[in-house]
Amino acid sequence: MQKTPLKQKVYLFLFGCAVCILLLEISLRIGGGIFLLFQERANRASVSQKGAYKIVCLGESTTALGNVYSYPSQLEKILNSRGRGIKFSVVNKGVPGTNTPIILAHLGANIAQYNPDMIITMMGINDGYEALPYNDAAVSRIKYFLKDTRVYKAAMLIIDRLKNKINAIVMRRSMANGPEPASPPVPPEDIHIEDKITMLGWYYKEQGRYAQAEAIFKKAIEANPKNSRTYFILGDYYYDRQRYTEAAKVYEQVLTITPGEVEASARLGKCYQIIGRREEARMVLKKALEVNPGSHRACTMLAGWYTDAGRYKEAEAMYKKAIEIQPNDPLMYTDLELCYLRQGKYDEAEFTLKKAIEVNPRKDRLYSALAYVYEKQGKRKLAEGFFERASRLRAETYNPVTRTNYRKLADTVLSSGIRLVCVQYPVRRIGPLEKMLKGIGGIIFVDNESVFKNALKEGRYEDYFIDCFGGDSGHCTPAGNKLLAENIANVILKELQ
């Protein structure tokens, strides 16, 4: 009997594995489809019950800020005034400075806590500047395609479950034994008791069991009061929950242990500004720069404070220092450009952005920022040309982090029977967002291009935006948030008819 060559055996084995994976993928998709069919029916029945129609708004500072004038707050008022008997409840879960990985990480907990009928997203602008051309990203597409398969997700689910079981065993043992003795010192490679406890706290947080999570994080601090990392985690917990006064107290503890730590200073500075302790915020940020004179992050934090306070010369000096330290970061240039614009220094703003484009020729935000500079000077043709160039770049490229997390979020929300509304940022075209989510049915898109452009033609930019951090738009004024809320309300009410 003729033996099969080793090379042929290897090929047959690999082919068999591929067929098995393919069949498993098909089975999982069919099973998932049947499950989702029944789940969707159950969710529809739940939505039809009496009570408020619950909407959760997810996003960054563009969603979070404004208090009673934020777009979610105004959206609730508009919907209830025009809802034709439907009672609406809108929850603002926007978090300043967050990004899509963090929003996705908290998605399950938000769904569990609020059980929403609808989720609204406006996100991605804080995911950084990484961009891949759609036409030249074959390898990246393959990687993200494989990650999107049911086989990969099932494997990751099994791994996560195993990790959770192992962690749970470790937690039970560590908490039963109590804190490790102070002497002799624990070897660096060992897991410290406070880290073990913190892991359990994160588990509770992701489950939406916030009271238990908070208690666990405090227990981690008790286990080692000199570990700044555990304080930082509790501070981030309070910050994410918008409990800024409590967050500030915890970040103060971090800086007591590690004076001038840049990220803790940044968070504490934000907390102080939010709760009205502005001068204390400046002192914290100034201290961070003194301790870290070579940190461009420390420079921009203090520069931002000076800009907001109208101390533009000091802000300019700080931004220029940041650019010297980190000349390849587009955000440094757009921040300096905004500082110039507030002073009416259009030539300096134009020069700064052109210099930035030389360093970063594929960054759409720089072109839209330059377009805005021309718009402010009444140079409409130049402005339109650069706005168009920025739009083309957005259509040709995508941020892989944003795309992956947006698609994962959409899959989770829609498979839970929750309606999903994806909102494009003001002024920007809806096309790139639709392209990013192409192939996923059931998404409701909100286009804010024409409504804001028409408003800007009739009024001033300052009527609708307080800054220009996005290049073509920024954080909204109360009037800007109202316009945004009205446009979203129009789409929602049309869909619910």
Q: List pLDDT tens digits, range 430-472.
A: 999 999 999 999 999 999 999 998 998 888 888 999 877 777 7
Q: Kindly state the average pLDDT of the residues 27-37.
A: 42
**Spatial CA neighbour of 467 closest among 336, 358, 327, 355:** 336
In this predicted structure, what is the pLDDT of residue 8?
66
Neighbours of 225 (CB within 10 A): 11
**Is residue 202's pLDDT more than 70?**
no
Classify 3 in phi/psi space as left (phi over 0), alpha (psi -120 to 50) or beta.
beta
The Cα 198–Cα 220 span in angstroms is 6
What fold is seen in the domain 310-398? 1.25.40
For the ranges 280-289, 318-327, 414-423, 470-479, the lowest mean pLDDT is seen at 470-479
The Cα 390–Cα 207 span in angstroms is 40
**Spatial CA neighbour of 133 closest among 345, 432, 373, 468:** 432
Q: Kindly state the average pLDDT of the residues 155-176.
A: 45
As a whole-number percent, the residues of the chain with pLDDT over 70 amount to 73
53-130+400-496 and 310-398 have identical folds: no
Q: Are 206 and 108 in contact (CB under 8 A)?
A: yes
**Is residue 87's pLDDT more than 80?**
yes
**Is residue 184's pLDDT more than 90?**
no
Tokens of 116: 């929403």
Q: Kindly state the average pLDDT of the residues 109-130.
A: 89
Q: Are 55 and 118 in contact (CB under 8 A)?
A: yes
Average pLDDT, the chain: 79
Task: Give 299's Cβ-side CA count (13 Å radius).
Answer: 20
**Is residue 192's pLDDT more than 80?**
no
Amino acid at 264: A
Alpha helices in 343-379 (DSSP H): 346-359, 364-376
Tokens of 363: 């960054």
In this predicted structure, what is the pLDDT of residue 186?
36
Long-range contacts of 460-463 (CB under 8 A, 24+ apart): 461/372, 461/375, 461/376
**Is residue 49's pLDDT more than 80?**
no
Q: Are 441 and 462 in contact (CB under 8 A)?
A: no
- Characterize 233-269 residue by residue with b for buried, 16 or more Cβ atoms within 10 angstroms of its Cβ, and e for exposed: bbbbbbbbeeebebbbebbbbbbeebebbbebbbbbb
The Cα 408–Cα 420 span in angstroms is 12
Neighbours of 184 (CB within 10 A): 7
**Is residue 58's pLDDT more than 50?**
yes
Give pTM, 2 decimals: 0.61
Q: Which strands sit side by side in the sheet containing 53-59, from one edge to the other?
A: 88-92, 53-59, 118-122, 419-423, 443-446
In this predicted structure, what is the pLDDT of residue 442?
94
**Spatial CA neighbour of 280 closest among 259, 312, 305:** 305
In this predicted structure, what is the pLDDT of residue 290?
93
Neighbours of 464 (CB within 10 A): 23
Q: Kindly state the average pLDDT of the residues 148-161.
A: 48
Alpha-carbon separation of residue 390 from 101, 213, 397 (angstroms): 25, 44, 11
- Map tokens 């074959």 to a residue: 138
**Is residue 334's pLDDT more than 60?**
yes
For the ranges 163-172, 183-192, 259-268, 347-356, the lowest mean pLDDT is seen at 183-192
Tokens of 443: 């998404």
Higher-pLDDT residue of 434 and 141 is: 434
**Of 44-48, 87-91, 196-200, 218-222, where does the model show the most confidence?**
87-91
- Given 3.30.70.3170, 3.40.50.1980, 3.40.50.1110, 3.10.105.10, which CATH number is that of 53-130+400-496? 3.40.50.1110
In this predicted structure, what is the pLDDT of residue 26?
56
In this predicted structure, what is the pLDDT of residue 312?
94
Three-state SS annotation for 75-86: HHHHHHHHCCCC
Domain residues of the chain, as ranges?
53-130+400-496, 310-398
